[in-house]
Amino acid sequence: MTTAPSDPWTDGATPDFSLLDAVTLDHVRAAADRIAGIAHRTPVVTSRTINGLTGANVLFKCENLQRVGAFKFRGAYNALSKLPKNTGGVIAYSSGNHAQGVALAAALLGIRAVIVMPTNAPKTKRAATEAYLQCAPDGSRVVAYDSNEQQREEVGARIAEEEGLTLIPPYDHPDIIAGQGTLALELIDQAVERDHSPLDRLYVCTGGGGVLSGCATVFKALAPDCEVIGVEPALGDDITRSFADGVLRTVHNPATIADGARTHYAGRHTLPIILKRVDRMETVGDPALARAMFLYLERMRLVVEPTGALALAGLLQDAERNPDQIRGKNIAVVITGGNLDLDAIPDLRAIAEERD
C-alpha cells in the first residue's frame, strides 16, 4: 500500500503538489460508496450554550458517535476494503483511534492485523483495540513500543518486512484521506437539512492532517466559499508552522494532552492538500482544550476526548479574539473522537483550571 520515496521527508522538505490529484472529490465519493451501510452516518447537533457564547449558529458533526468512537473507522475500512484478496495481513501504528479503526475493519473483512501502539496510549483505546482483534484472524495482536526511545514508523516497517504485512498508515495515504473526507459529504447535506446552509466556516481537529485534508478536498469542491480552518494543540504545532513556512516542519516530542495529535509531522500527501485547500491554521493551549472538552461533557452531555475538542477550542478562541468575524455566521465544528480515558479526568480538570 505504501512505497518508500527516494527523497527524505524531514524538516524543511518541499511538498510535492503533484500529489494533489491523488485525492479528489471523486475519490471521496467512491469511498462513501464503499463504506455505505458499514460506517455510521453520524448525527449533527446544536447547542444553545455554544451559540450564546459565540454569537454564531454552530453545527456539530458527531464523529465521537462513529464506530470505534472516532472518524478513523471511515478511512481504515475504505483502505482495507481496497486491498487484494490475497493480502497476507496488515500492520498499523497509532496511539489509539486509527488502531481501533484498523482492528475493527480487519475483523469485519477477515484480515489479520498487527497494531503498533505506544506504551503511553490511553488504556481505554488499547483495551478496545485488543477486543476488536479477538474477532480478527489468528496472529492479530497489539505490539507496544516506547515512543521516547523508538519511532513507530521504524517499528512498523520492521514487523511488516518480517511478516509480509501491508502498512496502513494513520493519515498519509489517499485511501485514508478519501475515507475521512466522507464525513464532509454528509455534513454538507446535513447542513442543508437543518437549514444551516450555506456554511461560512468549518473547524477541524488536526493531528497528522488526514481528516483536515479530506474535509478540505470536499469543501473546496462543493462549498468553496466556506473558510476551512485546522486547529492544532500549541504543543504539537508542526502543521501550523508548516502552513506558515510552506515547507515541512516537525515536532520532536509533542507533549500535549491531545494524544491523537501527538504526530511529529504532516504527511507527503496531507501537507500539499493542506497548503492548497485549507484557508487557515491555528493553535490552542492545553488548558483551553481541556475546558472545551468539559464544556462538551457538562453542557452538551457529549463524551469527547481532548483531541476531539480541538475544533471547538479554536472556535471559542476566535470568538473571544475576533467576535465580529464570528457573530451571526453559520459554523460547523467536527468532533473527531470520543474515546476519553475516564481515569484521566481529574488531571484534565486540573489542566482546565490553569491559565493559558
**Please, what are the averages of pLDDT over each run of 10 residues along the chain (356 residues)?**
61 95 98 98 98 98 98 98 92 90 97 92 88 94 85 86 94 98 99 95 97 99 98 97 97 90 93 98 98 98 98 98 97 97 94 89
Would you say residue 8 lies in a domain? no
The predicted pLDDT at position 131 comes to: 95
Query: Are 226 and 307 found together in one domain?
Result: yes
Measured between alpha carbons, how far is residue 242 from residues 20, 208, 250, 268 in Å? 17, 12, 8, 12
pTM equals 0.94
| Residues of the domain holding 267 | 17-70+174-352
Q: How many domains does the chain have?
A: 2
Between CA 35 and CA 68 the distance in angstroms is: 14
Query: Are 207 and 115 found together in one domain?
Result: no
Query: Are 256 and 321 found together in one domain?
Result: yes
pLDDT tens digits, one per residue of 226-236: 999 999 999 99
Would you say residue 6 lies in a domain? no
Return the percentage of the chain with pLDDT > 70, whole number: 98
The predicted pLDDT at position 3 comes to: 46
β-sheet with 330-335: strand ranges across: 44-45, 57-62, 330-335, 201-205, 227-233, 280-284
Last residue of a domain, which of 122, 143, 167?
A: 167
Last residue of a domain, which of 136, 167, 198?
A: 167
Between CA 154 and CA 162 the distance in angstroms is: 12
Residues in the chain: 356
The enclosing domain of 113 has a CATH number of: 3.40.50.1100
Query: Are 245 and 136 found together in one domain?
Result: no
Query: Are 145 and 89 found together in one domain?
Result: yes
Last residue of a domain, which of 167, 185, 210?
A: 167
Would you say residue 35 lies in a domain? yes
Query: Are 236 and 348 found together in one domain?
Result: yes
